[in-house]
């Protein structure tokens, strides 16, 4: 009316309290309850969580509310969903194995106490595992790096393995106390022999100098894979290493399905992955340079060795060989916690 009449709008005018269009919820007081009832059959999640989610789209929800006599657009449905605590979400990979594993939390407490006792005594505490294999060659590596506009790194379209370059198999040993990592970069299979050889190389390159008087080593490892709790060859090779070094090797395995809790995952492997993110791993030399250049604000150091040995698969350890191991299982979950003593003391540290 003001425009049609030619009147000038008073820009300083303040709307009276309570003026303007009433809120949708006030005009249609039952709309939230009706929306909840529509959502209920298709809602998933935990009642203890702050956020829940629904499978139905805003347009479908608006249509159902309109059919019930409410006047609402799909845009406003989004506002109501936010009020009710709903949000759009994608799947998240966060469940590993059996979350109801008996003694799961007790095992973590056991590991923490064991680690603290070793650290208080000045003994090495190592987190060990094998990082995922990487194709060596001009292949796409996930992640992004800064480059000049419209000048992306050109890589192969297909990830067929380069038979000459093969794959890189990084086995890591992370010193939890010193914040120092070691990568033994293999070119063959990830076997128990390869895993123990990586620990051997860590000791010769770093451990002997860092812990010259150590009589024990504590390893924390995943429950499966080449260093798994049920892997006979793993124990057999650790026995050889313990006897060779004259050092007791204590092992604590993480409960099944909790591999991402292993400290090496986020303190070493995640940092390496971040450092080479978006960079094609064209050669072992490039991989080496990216590994040793990995640092963090907390002072992480990473060392490296190239392992060109071949590690055959399907090596069997007989019952008789297993029975000869100088191994002692702890009373609490002995299948996860044990120590292997040297068969014959040999001072190999000189």
What is the 3 state secondary structure string of the chain? Answer: CHHHHCCCCCCCCCCCCCCCCCCHHHHCCCHHHHHHHHHHHHEECCCCCCCEEECCCHHHHHHHHHHCCCCCCHHHHHHHHHHHCECCCCCCCCCCCCCCCCCHHHHHHHHHHHHHHHHHCCCCEEEEEECCCEECCCCCCCCCCCCCCCCCCCCCCCCCCCCCCCEEEEEEEEECCCCEEEEEEECCCCCHHHHHHHHHHHHHHHHHHHCCCCCEEEEEECCCHHHCCCCHHHHHHHHHHHHHHCCEEEEEECCCCCHHHCHHHHHHHHHHHHHCCCCCCCCHHHHHHHHHCCCCCCCCEEEEEEECCCCCCCCCCCHHHHHCCCEEECCCCCCCEEEECCCCCCCCCC
> Is-contact 267 179, C-beta < 8 A?
yes
pLDDT at 306 over 70: yes
What was the pLDDT predicted at 24?
A: 65
What was the pLDDT predicted at 195?
A: 98
pLDDT band for position 91 (cuts 50, 70, 90): low
Least confident of 67-71, 246-250, 261-265, 315-319: 67-71
Task: Answer yes or no: pTM beyond 0.75.
Answer: no
Q: What is the pLDDT of residues 3-60, one digit of tens each?
A: 444 444 454 544 444 444 446 666 676 888 887 777 665 444 433 333 444 556 788 8
Domains and their CATH numbers in the chain: 21-84 (no CATH), 104-340 (3.30.420.10)
What was the pLDDT predicted at 312?
A: 96
Alpha-carbon gap, residue 342 to 327, rounded angstroms: 9
What was the pLDDT predicted at 75?
A: 87
What was the pLDDT predicted at 346?
A: 43
Alpha-carbon gap, residue 51 to 42, rounded angstroms: 15
Give Cα 201 distance to the centre of its chain.
25
What was the pLDDT predicted at 238?
A: 98
Q: What is the pLDDT of residues 120-163, one digit of tens each?
A: 999 999 999 999 888 888 778 887 766 667 777 777 777 777 77
């Amino acid at each position: 009316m003001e425009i049609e009449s030619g009147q000038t709008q008073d820009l300083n005018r303040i709307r009276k309290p309570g003026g303007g269009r009433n809120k949708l919820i006030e005009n249609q007081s039952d709309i939230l309850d009706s929306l909840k009832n529509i959502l209920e059959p298709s809602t998933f999640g935990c009642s203890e969580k702050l956020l829940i989610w629904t499978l139905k789209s805003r347009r479908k929800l608006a249509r159902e509310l309109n059919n019930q006599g409410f006047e609402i657009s799909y845009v406003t449905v989004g506002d109501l969903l936010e009020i009710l605590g709903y949000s759009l979400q994608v799947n998240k990979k966060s469940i590993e194995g059996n979350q109801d594993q008996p003694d799961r939390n007790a095992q973590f407490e056991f590991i923490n106490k064991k680690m603290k006792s070793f650290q208080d005594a000045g003994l090495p505490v190592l987190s060990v595992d094998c990082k995922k294999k990487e194709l060596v060659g001009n292949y796409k590596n996930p992640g992004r790096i800064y480059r000049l506009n419209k000048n992306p790194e050109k890589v192969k379209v297909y990830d067929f393995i380069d038979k000459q370059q093969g794959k890189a198999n990084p086995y890591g040993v992370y010193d939890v106390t010193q914040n120092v990592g070691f990568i033994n970069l293999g070119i063959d299979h990830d076997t128990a022999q390869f895993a123990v050889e990586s620990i051997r190389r860590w000791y010769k390159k770093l451990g002997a100098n860092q812990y010259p008087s150590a009589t024990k080593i504590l390893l924390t490892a995943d429950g499966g894979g080449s260093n798994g709790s049920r892997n006979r060859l793993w124990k057999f090779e650790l026995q050889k290493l313990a006897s060779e070094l004259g050092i007791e090797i204590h092992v604590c395995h993480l409960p099944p399905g909790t591999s991402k809790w292993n400290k090496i995952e986020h303190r070493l492997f995640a940092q390496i992955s971040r450092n080479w993110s978006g960079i094609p791993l064209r050669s072992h030399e490039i991989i080496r340079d990216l590994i040793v250049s990995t640092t963090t604000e907390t002072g992480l150091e990473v060392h490296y060795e190239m392992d060109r040995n071949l590690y055959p698969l399907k090596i069997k350890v007989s019952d008789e060989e297993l029975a000869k191991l100088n191994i002692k299982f702890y009373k609490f979950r002995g299948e996860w916690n044990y120590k292997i003593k040297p068969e014959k003391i040999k001072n190999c540290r000189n």
